[in-house]
C-alpha cells in the first residue's frame, strides 16, 4: 500500500499505508524498498512484485509497513512490463496487474530505506545520485550474501514491528559489506533478459527468487512455506 502516484506498496494503494498502525493502534512509519534495473520492464518489475508476493504470503496485512516499488535508470516511463516478465510472475503466483514503468528519479532514492539493484553498474548509478545512498544501496545478490551472514537472533523480533526489524537488517548488512566480498565480479549480477526467450526469463526469475527468499525471511522473521 502507498499513496497514489508515489509508489507501489503491498496492498490496495490507499494513502493510509504511509502510516500504518500497531496492534494497540499507535502509529508507526513505513520502510520503503526500491528495486532498480535498466528499463523497469523486466528485472525490477519481477523483483518488485515477487517481493510483495512473498511478504504478503508470510505476513499478510502485517507486512503493510513495507512499501515495495521499482524504477529504471533508463526507465520506459509508462510502459507495461514485458509479457515474458508477466509469465514469470504468474509462475510464482504473483500479481502483475497495474504495473507501469518509471524512470529513476532523485525523489525515489531520497525516499528509499533500501535500494536493491540488478547489477553493480546500477548500484553505482544510484550512489552517484547522492542523497547519502551508499549505506542503503546494494545489488540484490550482494544483499543476499550479507543477509545470509547475519545471525537472525541479533535482529529485533517481529513483535517490535517489521519496520524496526528491516532498518536493523540494513544497518547490519552495511556493517558487513567490506568483509564479505563477491567471489567473482559476475556473482553480484542479475543479467538483463530483455528481448530474450521465455526460457531465459524463467531462469532469471529463478535467480531472483533464490536471492529474494533469504532476504524476505530476514525481513519478516518467517521462513518460506515448504
Q: What is the pLDDT of residues 34-74, one digit of tens each?
A: 999 999 999 999 999 999 999 999 988 677 899 999 999 99
**Does this model's pTM top 0.85?**
yes
What top-level class would CATH report for the domain 15-220? Answer: alpha beta
Place of cell 496487474: 97
The ranges assigned to domains in the chain are 15-220
- 106-134 pLDDT, tens per residue? 999 999 999 999 999 999 999 999 999 99
The grid cell for 167 is 532498518
**Residue 31: is it exposed, middle or buried by C-beta count within 10 angstroms (0-12/13-18/19+)?**
buried
CA dist 80 and 83 (Å) reads 8
Nearest to 85 by CA among 40, 122, 121: 40
Amino acid at each position: 500500500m502507498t499513496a497514489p502516484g508515489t509508489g507501489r506498496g503491498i496492498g490496495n494503494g490507499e494513502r493510509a499505508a504511509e502510516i500504518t498502525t500497531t496492534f494497540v493502534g499507535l502509529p508507526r512509519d513505513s520502510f520503503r524498498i526500491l528495486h532498480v534495473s535498466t528499463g523497469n520492464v523486466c528485472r525490477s518489475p519481477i523483483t518488485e512484485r515477487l517481493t510483495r508476493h512473498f511478504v504478503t504470503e508470510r505476513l499478510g496485512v502485517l507486512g503493510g509497513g513495507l512499501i515495495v516499488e521499482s524504477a529504471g535508470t533508463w526507465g520506459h516511463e509508462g510502459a507495461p512490463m514485458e509479457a515474458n516478465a508477466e509469465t514469470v510472475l504468474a509462475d510464482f503466483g504473483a500479481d502483475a496487474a497495474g504495473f507501469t514503468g518509471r524512470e529513476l528519479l532523485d525523489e525515489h532514492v531520497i525516499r528509499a530505506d533500501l535500494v536493491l539493484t540488478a547489477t553493480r553498474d546500477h548500484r553505482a548509478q544510484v550512489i552517484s545520485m547522492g542523497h547519502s545512498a551508499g549505506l542503503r544501496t546494494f545489488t540484490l545478490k550482494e544483499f543476499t550474501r550479507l543477509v545470509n551472514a547475519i545471525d537472525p537472533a541479533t535482529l529485533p523480533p517481529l513483535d517490535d514491528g517489521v519496520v524496526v526489524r528491516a532498518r536493523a537488517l540494513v544497518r547490519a548488512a552495511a556493517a558487513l559489506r567490506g568483509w564479505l566480498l563477491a567471489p567473482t565480479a559476475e556473482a553480484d549480477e542479475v543479467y538483463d533478459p530483455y528481448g530474450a526467450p521465455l526460457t531465459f526469463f524463467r531462469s532469471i526469475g529463478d535467480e531472483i527468487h533464490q536471492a529474494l527468499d533469504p532476504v524476505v525471511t530476514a525481513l519478516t522473521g518467517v521462513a518460506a512455506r515448504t
